[in-house]
Structure 1
C-alpha cells in the first residue's frame, strides 16, 4: 500500500511538471561507467533544437540520480557512457515507475556500454524484451527524414547502427541506440573533428528523438 501511494504521488508530480516543462536531464548511475561522458553533447543538442524545432529547453541540463524522485521533473532523461552500469533494486523501481508514468529514457552507447546496460534493462523490464526499430518508425521521420533508420556517426566496430526500444502500450519508454554514437556527433566540432554533414545528421536525429519524447 505504501509503495502504491508513493507511486501515485510521483505520477502526479511527473504530470504536473510535464504539462509545463520541456527539460532534459543527464542520468547519473553507479557501476563505474562514465555517466559524465560527452559534456558538450546535450548543450549543443538543446541549442540545435531551440533554434530549429521551436523548443524552449533550458540550455544547461541538470544531472539527476537514478534513485531520486527528481527524475519525475523531466520528460526526457539521457544516459551515456563506455563502461559498467549497475542499478540497485530501489533504483530499478524508481526508474520503472518514472517510465510507466510517462517518462522517456534515451540510452546512447558511447562504445563499450552495451553488455552492461542490456543486462540492467532486462532487470528493469524482465517481461518486455528490447526490440529493434524498423526504418519506417515515426521516430525516424517525425521532423527530419532518415529513410535508412538510425544514422552511423562513428565507426567503432564497423557494425551497423541499431535503435532498440522498450514499448509500453505502443509508446516507446526506453530507447537504446547502439553502434551509432549520436552523442559524439553532438559534441563540439573540435572534440572529434567530425565533418559538418555528420554532425548535422546526429543533431537532426537527436531532434527527432526529443520530438518523440515530448509528444508521446
Structure 2
C-alpha cells in the first residue's frame, strides 16, 4: 500500500495530523514566516475540527520523509532550484495523493514557475476560477482568492496543477497568505485581514484533507 495512503487511513482513525514546511535549494528563504503554519494549524483545530500538530515539521523536497505529510507548505522571497531528484520526488508525492501549497512571499514567482515545470512538464498551471470548491468550504470567498498583503497592486491569483480533477498542487500569487497567518505583531495586519487569511488557509487545509 502507498505510504501516503496508509498515513491518511491512520488520520481517519483520529490520530494527530501532521503538516510540514518545505525546505528547498537555491538560496531562497524557505524558512520565512516561521509562525505562519503553527498559527494556521491552531486556527483550523479551533474552527474546522481538525487535529493538526501545531509543532510543524520541516521536510526536504527530495526526501522520502515528505511522504509522511499529507500537506506540505512552501514559501519564500527568492530563488528556488529543484534538482532532478527533487522534481521526481515531488511528482511522486503529489501524484500519490500529497498536497503541495506554494505561497509566493514576494519575489518567488519568476523562479518557482520554472521549477514547477520540472515537476510537471506536460501539465501546466491553470488559474483556478472563483467558483471552485476551494473558495466555498468551509468559508465562502465569492470573489476567489483574497488579497492579504499589497506589493505591486496586482490582483491575487490561485493556480493549480490538476490531477484527475483534483487540485494537487496549489500556487497562490500576489496575496501573501503566509503574512496573514503570522503572529499579529509581525506585520501589524488588521484583525479582519488576518481572519481572511486564516479562513482561506483553512479552506486549503480542508480541501487538501478531504479531496
- TM-score bucket of the superposed structures, by smaller chain: over 0.9
Q: Please point out which of 3, 9, 13 is paired with 1:19.
A: 9
Distance in 2, matches of 1:152 and 1:59, equals 25
Determine the structure 2 residue equivalent to 1:8: none
- Following superposition, the deviation at residue 99 of structure 1 comes to 0.3
Residue 52 of structure 2 is aligned to residue 47 of structure 1: no
Write the deviation string for residues 161-189 of structure 1: whole angstroms up to 9, x where unpaired.
00000001001110000000000000000
For residues 61-210 of structure 1, the aligned pairs below 5 Å read 61-210=56-205
Deviation beyond 2 Å, 4+ runs, structure 1: none
Gaps of 5+ in 2: 12-16
- Following superposition, the deviation at residue 95 of structure 1 comes to 0.6
- Following superposition, the deviation at residue 18 of structure 1 comes to 1.6
- SS of residue paired to 1:209: helix
Determine the structure 1 residue equivalent to 2:14: none
Distance in 2, matches of 1:16 and 1:133, equals 29
Gaps of 5+ in 1: 1-10
TM-score, scaled to structure 2: 0.96
**Deviation larger for 192-201 or 21-30:** 21-30
- Following superposition, the deviation at residue 124 of structure 1 comes to 0.9
TM-score, scaled to structure 1: 0.94
- Following superposition, the deviation at residue 96 of structure 1 comes to 0.3
Q: Does structure 2 retain, via aligned residues, the 8 Å contact 1:18–1:73?
A: no
Q: Does structure 2 retain, via aligned residues, the 8 Å contact 1:30–1:86?
A: yes
Q: Does structure 2 retain, via aligned residues, the 8 Å contact 1:131–1:164?
A: yes
Q: How much is the aligned-residue C-alpha RMSD, in angstroms?
A: 0.7
Give the aligned length.
206
- SS of residue paired to 2:167: strand
- SS of residue paired to 1:107: strand
